[in-house]
Chain A
Amino acid sequence: MSDEPHTMNRRQLIRHSAWFGAAVGLAVVGGEVISHVAGTADAARSASRPTLRFAQVSDSHIGFLGKANPNVAGSFNQAIESINNLGYTPDFVIHTGDLTHLATPGQFDQVKQMMTGLRTPHVFTVPGEHDSIDDGGQKYRSAFGAGARGDGWYSFDIAGVHVIALVNTLNLKKLGHLGVDQLDFVAKDVAALPSDTPIIVFSHIPLFAMYPDWGWGTDDAAQVLSYLRRFSSVTCLNGHVHQVFSKTEGNVTFHSGTTTAYPLPHPGDGPAPKPVTLPAGKLHDALGIREVSYTRGQSTLALKEKVLQ
Chain B
Amino acid sequence: MPARPWAARAVLVGLMVVAGCSSHQSATTTPSVTFGSAATTPGMPGMSGMAPMPNMPAGTTAATAGPAAPVSGNAVSIDNFAFAPATLTVPAGSTVTWTNKDEEPHTVVANDGSFHSPGMGSQATFSYTFTKPGTFEYVCSIHPYMHATVVVTQ
Contacts and interface: CB of A to CB of B under 8 A. Distances in A.
Q: Do chains A and B touch in the complex (CB under 8 A)?
A: yes
Nearest to B105: A102
B1 interface: no
A67 B2 CA distance: 67
A150 to B, nearest CB: 12
Interface stretch (A10-18, A170-178, A281-289): A170-178
Contacts of B97: none
B139 A172 contact: yes
A272 interface: yes
- For the side of the interface on A, what is the size category? 35 or more
A273 B46 CA distance: 32
Given A174-B147, A272-B82, A73 B25 contact: no
Interface string A187-203: 00100000000000000
A93 B46 contact: yes
A274 B17 CA distance: 50
A159 B31 contact: yes
A45 B21 CA distance: 8
B95 interface: no
A47 B26 CA distance: 8
A67 B102 contact: no
B58 A71 contact: yes
B44 A112 contact: yes
A157 B34 contact: yes
A146 B145 contact: no
Contacts, number: 207
Contact of A65 (B36, B44, B59, B141): B59
B33 A157 contact: yes
Interface in A52-67: 52, 62-63, 65-67
B145 A77 contact: no
A295 B51 CA distance: 34
A303 interface: no
Contacts of A132: 141
A271 interface: yes
Interface stretch (A1-9, A114-122, A223-231, A243-251): A114-122
Contacts of A37: 16-17, 20
A26 interface: no
Interface string A37-81: 110110011111111100000000011011100111110010011
B56 A156 contact: no
Interface of B: 16-17, 20-21, 23-28, 30-36, 38-48, 50-53, 55-56, 58-61, 63, 80-82, 102-105, 107, 111, 118-119, 121, 139, 141-145, 147
The 8 residue pairs across chains A and B that have the minimum distance between CB atoms = A272-B81, A159-B31, A65-B59, A41-B20, A147-B42, A70-B58, A133-B119, A172-B144
